[in-house]
Amino acid sequence: MTEETNAIPASLPLRNDLIGETPYGAPQLDVPVCLNVNENPYEPNPDVCATIARRVGEIAHTLNRYPDREHIALRKAFSDYLAKESGARLAVDQLWGANGSNEIMLQLFQAFGGPGRTALGCDPTYSMYPEYARDTFTGWKLAHRNADFTLDVDAAIKAIHEIKPSMVILTSPNNPTGTPLPPADLERILDVCETADVAGAAAGVHPIVVVDEAYVEFRNPGTPSAVTLIDKHPNLAVSRTMSKAFAFAGARVGYLAASKDIIDCVRIVRMPYHLSAVTQAAALAALEHTDEQLSQVAHLREIREQTAAWLKRQTYKGQPLEVAASESNFLLFGGHFDKRDRIFEALLDRGILIRVVGPDGWLRVCMGTDDEMARFREALSEVLRIVEAE
């Protein structure tokens, strides 16, 4: 069954712009094979769990006190991790943690958006961005990507000059398509934003560029991260998470890498003591075991490539399935599904949960364990034959 949201009573003074809205969220269903929310399917190993328990136990007696609101130890650990993972050594005051990258993005919208401000995205892209905009009374505009889902840099630059946004939101790898953002394209956007105007702001105010790297650890080896450009471009903010490749979705830990000035702007809007002592302890424990937490990333990349090749060999109504080029742990596939909801439901009937997301005609599947992917392939083969014949 799917989740339902009860209608809000008309007698409640819900904000006028929220009337008729429903809460965001992918379906949370008890199914044998869950391939819809882009998690790492592999559990933390026992050594990681033991360290988490030890660290949380060590701070348990302090829970009558507020945590370190600046989470300095955790920011130092983020710095060490990025130096190892991306080759960029950032200072503690260039880093900031929060409860998942969702909270990081919301804090950025709170700090740099607001009434009279506009954020610019490039669609198709993550469906939460317009909700961050809505919740912070920020305008939301889009520049369209190319047909292959790569960034149309010229269209984005044209929109920056026309719309004069305070924030430009880019995603690499992009969600829901998995498309990477080449550094040269990013630098073109950064260079433009360093002199572009912001509507409603004083002279000399320029847009920031936010790169959402939630899935960046799944990129192909040798591909640089946007964090390597932070010292060169003070208008760049890079959002990251421990939820995906790091196998830590249940802990809700995200972080921001940017100039000290951008971090200080975010600190203005953060809630007091927003990151609990328990969360900080658990994150520090996981970061002690970086290699173990990321041990399945290379295998998931291999599964992604194998699954993409298999999907391209499948047909629907006489045409091979399209598969968007991806450097993430998911694949957008189909391209010409005229009954994608029917395909989704038929897979769900067989215990396989994927995602109806992105442009019409497409579906998205994230990479699971070897057994889960075998069950997905078997079920999809059957479902395509059945739906095609209907």
Pairing of strands 236-241, 118-123: unpaired
Mean pLDDT for all residues in the chain: 96
Query: What are the backbone dihedrals phi and psi of residue 360, each rounded to the nearest 5 degrees, phi first?
Result: -55, 140
Domain chopping of the chain, boundaries? 16-43+295-389, 46-293
Kindly report, residue by residue over 260-317, the tens digit of the pLDDT: 999 999 999 999 999 999 999 999 999 999 999 999 999 999 999 999 999 999 999 9
Whether 362 and 333 have beta carbons less than 8 Å apart is answered as yes
Q: What is the pLDDT confidence band of residue 22, given thresholds at 50, 70 and 90? A: confident
φ, ψ for residue 209 (rounded to 5)? -115, 120
> How many Å apart are CA 321 and CA 313, to the nearest integer?
7
CATH assignment of 16-43+295-389?
A: 3.90.1150.10
What percent of the chain has a predicted confidence (pLDDT) above 70? 98
How many residues belong to the chain? 390
DSSP string across 159-193? HHHHH--SEEEEESS-TTT-----HHHHHHHHHHH
User: 3.40.640.10, 3.40.50.300, 3.30.470.30, 3.40.50.720: which CATH number matches 46-293?
Assistant: 3.40.640.10
**Whether the predicted pLDDT of 379 surpasses 90:** yes
User: What is the C-alpha to C-alpha distance for residues 261 and 236, in angstroms, rounded to an integer?
Assistant: 11
Q: Which residues contact 329 (CB under 8 A, 6 or more apart)?
A: 38, 40, 215, 218, 244, 245, 300, 301, 304, 366, 367
Q: pTM of the predicted model, to two decimals?
A: 0.94
**What distances in angstroms separate CA 105 from CA 12, 13, 65, 352, one per listed residue?**
29, 27, 28, 30
Nearest to 327 by CA among 304, 306, 309: 304
Residue 27 is predicted with a pLDDT of: 74
pLDDT in tens, 168-218: 999 999 999 999 999 999 999 999 999 999 999 999 999 999 999 999 999
pLDDT in tens, 209-261: 999 999 999 999 999 999 999 999 999 999 999 999 999 999 999 999 999 99
Bridge-based pairing state of the strands 352-353 and 254-258: unpaired
How do strand 254-258 and strand 236-241 relate by DSSP bridges?
antiparallel
Residue 96, helix vs strand vs coil = strand
